[in-house]
Amino acid sequence: MKQKVHSGSKPKLKECLEEEAYLELCRTTDLLSRRLGGLLKAEDLSANQYNILRILRGSPDGLPCGEIGNRMITRDPDITRLLDRLEKRELITRCRETKDRRMVMARIAPGGLKLLAELDEPVREAHAGQLAHLGRKRLWALMELLQEARSEG
Amino acid sequence: MKQKVHSGSKPKLKECLEEEAYLELCRTTDLLSRRLGGLLKAEDLSANQYNILRILRGSPDGLPCGEIGNRMITRDPDITRLLDRLEKRELITRCRETKDRRMVMARIAPGGLKLLAELDEPVREAHAGQLAHLGRKRLWALMELLQEARSEG
DNA sequence: CAACAATACTCGTTGTAACGAATATTGTCA
DNA sequence: TGACAATATTCGTTACAACGAGTATTGTTG
């Protein structure tokens, strides 16, 4: 996920505005991601693993693997292996659904909740430290623009 | 003024605006990156390799490996191997500097220029297709906000 | 029931990122 | 000159992403 983009040369005339905007986006995301990455690495979590945990925390009833795959845009064999690692560390649990026994529901486990809870504060502080200087107004403006950017892709 | 007291349940983490903005940023960058990723994969280029080629195109006199590493925020040994792969495909050339013989200058090769040239149009079209609906005004606003976001991290 | 679709999984593969440790060469400076 | 710094490299390691092919189980439908 980490995508690095060169930030050196001045924009050539031929480069279109959309491309420049994309580069800005990459640079910014990359910069902001580094701190978070450091926090996660200290807990031996990959960004994807962290995302899964947060998704599952938001769905206390659990989610089928396929649904996780849809949200992450990741193929199901890869989701399976991601969940394998998380399950081995007892951060999540899996159990087969009784209704539709084709599905396996993944739920966050106490260990996963605890780990997330420990990360919440530093993560929030990291983001605040990096973005608070924008202020509420510009943050809202930024979020709105980003949503609009995705709204018609 | 009366103070509100939490009853029993754990105080919900205040979803801070900065964190939300970061998530929006990630979602947007991720979405936009996928098309580019497809174009690059068709040419067997990783995002990092593509970035290096673009950096080098912007520096016709070549760059020392260390400078590339600085721009990409990537460690020396990894840059070396990235350049190895690019050199093997004759997309770049390397030669030792005569002045300071510790340095090795990497330059883009004709093959690299050609490959980039072939990618320029589809890449630009992809980005335009994804972002043009914002219009110039909002694109500028977005870019400005992103620059400000990085200006104090 | 048979055929098919959906779900998750197993297995294998390749390339890469990221990191640590060590080395050779060269330049700089006290 | 000798000690040190800078540059790039080699080597080894681990984990992960991404992809393809195939399998087992279960549900659905004609």
Round to whole Å and give the CA distance between A14 and B105: 27
Strand partners, A106: A63, A94
Answer yes or no: is B21 within a domain: no
pLDDT of residue A10: 43
> Which burial class, exposed, middle or buried, applies to A48 when counting CB atoms under 10 A from its CB (0-12, 13-18, 19+)?
middle
Give pLDDT, residue A12: 46
Question: Residue B5 has what pLDDT?
Answer: 38
Residues paired with residue A104 on neighbouring β-strands, in sequence order: A96
User: If you measure CA to CA, which chain B residue comes closest to A5?
Assistant: B51
The pLDDT mean for chain B works out to: 89
- The tens digit of pLDDT for each residue in B54-76 reads 999 999 999 999 999 999 999 99
**Which residue in A has a C-alpha nearest to residue B20's C-alpha?**
A143
What radius of gyration do chain A's Cα atoms show?
19
Q: What is the DSSP letter of A133?
A: G
pLDDT in the model for residue A60: 93
Give a yes or no: residue A96 inside a domain.
yes
Is residue A1, in this structure, part of any structural domain at all?
Answer: no
Intervals of chain B under pLDDT 50: 1-13, 153
Is residue A11 in some structural domain? no
Instruction: Give the pLDDT confidence of A105-114 residue by residue, as tens digits.
Output: 999 999 999 9
User: Do B128 and A3 count as a contact with CB atoms less than 8 A apart?
Assistant: no
The pLDDT of residue B14 is: 55
Give the pLDDT confidence score for residue B8 in this predicted structure: 37
Would you say residue B24 lies in a domain? no
CB B40 within 8 A of CB B78: no
Q: What is the pLDDT of residues A73-87, one digit of tens each?
A: 999 999 999 999 999
CA of B144 to C1' of D20 (A): 43
What span, in angstroms and rounded, lies between the C-alpha atoms of B110 and B53?
Answer: 11
Task: Assign A57 to helix, strand or coil.
Answer: helix
Q: d(Cα B21, Cα B23) in Å, to the nearest integer?
A: 5
User: Where on strand D do bases come within 7 A of a protein Cβ?
Assistant: 6-12, 15-22, 25-28
Comparing A119 with A13, the larger pLDDT belongs to A119
Domain assignment present for A39: yes
CATH number at residue A76: 1.10.10.10
Q: What is the pLDDT of residue A34?
A: 92
A72 part of a folded domain:
yes
Range of the domain at B46: 34-150
Q: Helix, strand, coil proportions of chain A in percent (round to 5)?
A: 65, 10, 25
Q: pLDDT tens-digit profile of A40-51?
A: 999 999 999 999
Q: How many domains does the structure of chain B reveal?
A: 1
A53-75 burial, b for 16+ CB within 10 Å, e for fewer? bbbbeeeeebbebebbbeebeee
When scoring A9, A118, A143 by the number of chain B Cβ atoms within 10 A, the one with the most, hence best to mutate, is A143
Name the percent of chain A lying above pLDDT 70. Answer: 90
Output the distance from B30 CA to D10 C1' rounded to whole Å.
35
pLDDT computed for residue B7 by the predictor: 37
Q: What proportion of chain A, given as a percentage, has pLDDT over 90?
A: 88
At A11-37, the pLDDT tens digits run 444 568 999 999 999 999 999 999 999
Which nucleotide, over all strands, has the C1' atom closest to the CA of A3?
A: C17
Q: Which tokens belong to A38?
A: 């450091």
The whole-number pLDDT of residue A152 equals 77
Residue B25 belongs to a domain: no
The reported pLDDT for the residue numbered B3 is 38
